[in-house]
Amino acid sequence: MGWWQVNADTLAGSRFVLSPLAETFASLRLLHTAVATHPGERHWLDSHLPAYRRRLADDPVTALLVRSGLGREWIADFLTPTPRAGEAFEDEVARVREASPAAARTHVTLSLRGPLPPRLDRDDLPERAAGLLTYVWEETVRPYWPRRRRVLEADVAARTAQVGRGGWAAALDSLRPGTRWLGENRLQVNAHEYPPREISGAELVFVPVTPQRVGWVSWEGTDRYALVYPCAGVLADTGGRPVPASLAALLGTARARVLVLLDSPLSTSQLVAVTGQGLGSVGRHLRVLLDAGLVERGRAGRSVLYARTAAGQVLIEAGTGQTPAGVSIRS
């Protein structure tokens, strides 16, 4: 397993950071594998995969670069510069474009675990990679970025609260498969057999992305390290759950949206982030749904979470034309 040696001061000073480029690279990996983990991802792939494949078909060198740089155990490092807080996509992708051509070739060779294909023995690999990432950002991520950013912010809020309740060990254990706190200042970052790295005294950031089953690590020298992880699936899948028209007519679209989202427990702050509605509006919707017996409230540590009740589930199923469990319909 790969692990980092992290002292208490470094862990205490670590933070969560949002990165448009990390979100874009995660989306590139999703386009590359074309394997969806939930209906929202499937819809996104159906919308964007054909154009992405046409673009690569028209540019076989870049297509080979993608296949070679996204290794099974190692990603070509120049494709994933370590995120910095507050950077715009244009600033982040500029660091890909400015990578050394020789270093890019070395990184791809390492990713392949074998010789560099002759067609990739060239100096424009960083420019090609930056061009493809810019295409993925502009065409497949940027149109959804406001909602994705809200989802990522909701995940950060939940993780930060988890750190407050149970400390970093509890938060790190739940980031992604292969990541856990081993004790004795050791953070396991993946399941691969790589030599440990001493990162005490460096800057450490945790970066959520919405595509599921995606994660990686990156670093700049010995000064900055990042661990990228998929955000909570219950948040990421919101795009795959439309509001039934009949339910919207009954409750109002905004309130119905809240009820649809609560098939898994969410806090008020998470609902605000995911829906884009104001705190006051979400609070009013929750009060009405509580009074009607459609949702229930519970406490998890210091957090108050809301979830749909059985009555709320019956209403959702009726709105989608499903027959609620245990209910028979006779002519």
In a domain, 326, yes or no: no
pLDDT at 189: 87
pLDDT number for residue 56: 98
Q: How many domains is the chain built from?
A: 3
Amino acid 240: pLDDT: 54
Residues with pLDDT less than 50, the chain: 323-331
For residues 188 and 1, give the distance between their C-alpha atoms in angstroms, rounded to a whole number. 7
Predicted pLDDT of residue 176: 79
pLDDT of residue 328: 36
Q: For position 235, what pLDDT does the model report?
A: 66
For the chain, the first-to-last Cα distance in angstroms comes to 61
- Among the listed residues 267, 296, 177, 284, the one whose alpha carbon sits nearest the alpha carbon of residue 227: 177
In a domain, 327, yes or no: no
Distance from C-alpha of 233 to C-alpha of 171, rounded to nearest angstrom: 16
Instruction: Provide the sign of the torsion angle of the four alpha carbons 40, 43, 48, 53, taken in this order.
Output: positive
Residues of the domain holding 200: 2-17+147-234
190-201 as b/e, with b when 16 or more CB fall inside 10 Å?
beeeeeebebee
Residue 173 confidence (pLDDT): 82
Note whether 6 and 199 are within 8 A (CB).
Answer: yes
What the block records as the tokens of 173 is: 């254990």
pLDDT digits (tens, 9 = 90+) for 240-274: 567 888 898 999 999 998 998 887 778 888 888 77
Q: Do residue 39 and residue 119 come from a single domain? A: yes
Strand partners, 250: none
pLDDT at 329: 33
**pTM for this model (two decimals):** 0.80
pLDDT given for residue 307 in this prediction: 86
Domain boundary among 200, 234, 268: 234
CA-CA distance, 164 to 154, in Å (whole number)? 15
For residues 42 and 139, state if they share a domain: yes
- Domain's final residue, options 113, 146, 179: 146
- Beta-strand ranges (E) seen in the chain are 2-5, 15-16, 180-183, 186-190, 197-198, 203-209, 216-220, 224-230, 266-267, 295-300, 303-308
9 shares its domain with 35: no
Residues 225 and 276 in one domain: no
Q: Of 112, 146, 180, which residue sits at a domain end?
A: 146
Q: Is residue 125 part of a domain?
A: yes
Residues 79 and 132 in one domain: yes
pLDDT of residue 99: 97
Per-residue pLDDT, 331: 30
